[in-house]
């Protein structure tokens, strides 16, 4: 669904404003995700529906992670030494308004047989590449045979040990996860999936069924949640989400600070917000439910994990921590380790 007119029952009279935004940043939503909207401006609405503030962001970057500059061949990004990101699909079930690849919505690079061969040749010719992440768009929107051909081609490359698929389909259009798809994916282990859930309202019977099919196929599932202003920037909201994800056998993996993408600045929170949330949740929810809070640095310099400062003092005999309740705790040090510890823990 690509016309703002479908939102009339939620926001009568706002269609002209929505169309102004979609002239620059298109709109798309699945019927399933649209039906999760409870009222205009709710956390589901904010993720999916165009906002005039997208046109007011003049400082955001077209390509904040320098993916194009780090592409040795079209649609393939080689940022880290031993892994690559391969963009294999343009299609999305929904255009997330905070998407880091908004630049590609209207002007995607073509996917040609030549580009496909070029990416495979690059991966096959670089023995340092052990891990391939398939993304897009959404790889799970490809025809089943096309996706299987890509997986089979990667499995023929001896040095590719791990294949990962990044997808939001189990969250925004879970009916597309079928037993046939799960069975096909299970033939290409070790295969992991990075899913994307941002709010507890996205945990539904349908998304549970989709995740169950994938988990029962032996696919380890993780979720990369984006920290979004007025969507999920409260400890209670994210705590509920992370615990619910575990019940789906989805491990919360990253809590991501917003990228500096043009048209998304109204979603950005202060960096301290993420640190406060992690501090508020530590030891109050299961350790399995605690993600890493990270910033994906501009310019393609990689992800940096951030953690609240629990260290209060370092001396020759012990290190002093403040625990999650704010109480002091001393931990003894080995003789001579103070100096090295300071280099790691003190700016």
Diameter over CA atoms, the chain: 71
Among left, alpha and beta (phi > 0; psi -120 to 50; other), residue 162 is: beta
Q: What is the pTM of this model?
A: 0.93
Q: 296 catalytic, yes or no?
A: yes
- Residue 7 pLDDT greater than 70, yes or no: no
Q: Which CATH number fits domain 56-306: 3.20.20.370, 3.10.180.10, 3.20.20.70, 3.40.50.150?
A: 3.20.20.70
187 is catalytic: no
The active-site residue out of 51, 96, 173, 211 is 96
The per-residue DSSP string of 180-235 comes to HHHHHHGGG-SEEEEE---SGGG--HHHHHHHHHHHHTT--EEEEEEP-TTTT-SH
Identify the weakest region by mean pLDDT among 13-17, 86-90, 222-226, 243-247.
Answer: 13-17
CB atoms closer than 10 angstroms to residue 12: 9
Annotated active-site residue in 63, 92, 168, 268:
92
**Cβ atoms within 10 Å, residue 308:** 17
- Residues annotated as binding site for [4Fe-4S] cluster? 92, 96, 99
Does residue 10 have a pLDDT over 60?
no
Marked catalytic residue, from 122, 303, 322, 324: 303
**Summary mean pLDDT of the chain:** 93
Q: Sketch the domain layout of the chain as residue ranges.
A: 56-306, 311-345
Task: Please tell me whether the peptide bond between 190 and the residue prior to it is cis, using omega within 30 degrees of 0.
Answer: yes
- Residue-wise pLDDT for 271-281, tens only, equals 999 999 999 99
Whole-number pLDDT of residue 118: 96
Cα gap 218→250, rounded to integer Å: 12
d(CA 135, CA 6): 28
Active site residue 101: yes
Nearest to 299 by CA among 77, 2, 39: 77
Task: Note the pLDDT tens digit of each residue in 189-225.
Answer: 999 999 999 999 999 999 999 999 999 999 999 999 9
DSSP 3-state assignment of 12? Answer: coil
Question: Which two structure tokens, joined as six digits, stand for 233?
Answer: 């920037």
Annotated catalytic residue 5? no
**Does 325 participate in catalysis according to the annotation?**
no
H/E segment holding residue 33? helix 31-34
- pLDDT at site 14: 65
How much helix, strand and coil, in percent to the nearest 5, is found in the chain? 35, 20, 45
Give the Å distances, CA to CA, from 168 to 21, 50, 224, 272.
23, 19, 10, 27
Catalytic residue among 51, 63, 138, 296: 296
- Residue 130 annotated as catalytic: no
106: exposed, middle or buried (C-beta count within 10 Å: 0-12, 13-18, 19+)? exposed
CA distances from 44 to 41, 108, 152, 241, 332 (A): 8, 26, 36, 14, 48
Q: Is 82 within 8 Å of 131 (Cβ atoms)? A: yes
Q: Which of 10, 20, 80, 122 is catalytic?
A: 80
Active site residue 146: no
Question: For residues 71 and 104, is the Cβ–Cβ distance under 8 A?
Answer: no
What pLDDT is recorded for position 126?
Answer: 96
How far, in Å, CA of 296 to CA of 256, rounded? Answer: 8
Catalytic position from the list 99, 164, 168, 171: 99
Query: Which residue ranges make up the annotated binding site?
Result: 92, 96, 99
Looking at 63, 138, 173, 259, which residue is catalytic?
Answer: 259
Given 34, 46, 97, 101, which residue is catalytic?
A: 101
Please tell me which residue in 79, 103, 164, 262 is annotated as part of the active site.
79
Contact between 252 and 214 (Cβ < 8 Å): no
To the nearest whole percent, how much of the chain has pLDDT over 70?
96
* Catalytic residue check, 83: yes
80 an active-site residue? yes
Looking at residue 13, what is its pLDDT?
55
Q: Which residues pair with 162 in a beta bridge?
A: 131
Quote the crossing angle between the two packed helices 271-281 and 235-247, to the nearest 10°.
Answer: 60
Going along the chain, which residue ranges are E strands? 76-80, 83-87, 131-135, 162-166, 191-195, 221-226, 250-256, 292-297, 302-306, 311-314, 318-322, 328-332
How many helices (H) and strands (E) would you count in the chain?
Answer: 11, 12
Residue 5 has pLDDT above 80, yes or no: no
Query: What's the burial of 76, exposed, middle or buried (CB within 10 Å: 0-12/13-18/19+)?
Result: buried
The reply to whether 343 belongs to the active site is no
Query: How many angstroms separate the Cα of 34 from the Cα of each of 2, 71, 75, 91?
Result: 11, 35, 30, 18
């Amino acid at each position: 669904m690509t016309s703002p007119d479908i939102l009339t029952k939620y926001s009568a009279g706002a269609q002209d404003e929505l169309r102004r935004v979609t002239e620059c940043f298109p709109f798309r939503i699945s019927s399933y995700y649209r039906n999760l909207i409870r009222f205009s401006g709710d956390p589901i609405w904010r993720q999916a529906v165009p906002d005039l503030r997208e046109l007011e962001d003049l400082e955001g970057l077209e390509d904040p992670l320098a993916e194009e500059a780090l592409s040795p061949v079209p649609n393939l990004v080689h940022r880290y030494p031993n892994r690559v990101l391969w963009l294999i699909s343009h299609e999305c079930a929904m255009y997330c308004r905070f998407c880091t690849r908004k630049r590609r919505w209207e002007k995607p690079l073509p996917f040609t047989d030549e580009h496909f061969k070029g990416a495979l040749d690059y991966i096959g010719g670089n023995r340092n590449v052990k891990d391939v992440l398939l993304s897009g768009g959404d790889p799970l929107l490809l025809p089943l045979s096309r996706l299987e051909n890509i997986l089979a081609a990667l499995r023929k490359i001896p040095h590719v040990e791990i294949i990962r698929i990044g997808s939001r389909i189990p969250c925004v259009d879970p009916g597309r996860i079928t037993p046939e798809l799960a069975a096909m994916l299970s033939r290409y282990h070790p295969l992991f999936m990075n899913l994307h859930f941002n709010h507890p309202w996205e945990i539904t019977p349908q998304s549970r069924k989709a995740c169950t099919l994938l988990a029962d196929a032996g696919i380890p599932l993780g979720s990369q949640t984006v920290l979004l202003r007025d969507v999920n920037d409260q400890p209670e909201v994210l705590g509920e989400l992370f615990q619910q994800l575990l019940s789906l056998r989805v491990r919360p993996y990253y809590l991501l600070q917003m990228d500096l993408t043009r048209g998304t600045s109204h979603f950005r929170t202060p960096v301290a917000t993420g640190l406060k949330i992690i501090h508020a949740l530590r030891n109050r929810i299961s350790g399995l439910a605690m993600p890493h809070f990270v910033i994906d640095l501009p310019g393609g310099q990689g992800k940096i994990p951030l953690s609240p400062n629990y260290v209060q003092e370092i001396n020759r005999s012990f290190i002093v921590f403040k625990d999650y309740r704010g109480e002091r705790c001393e931990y003894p040090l080995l003789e001579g380790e103070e100096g090295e510890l300071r280099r790691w823990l003190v700016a």
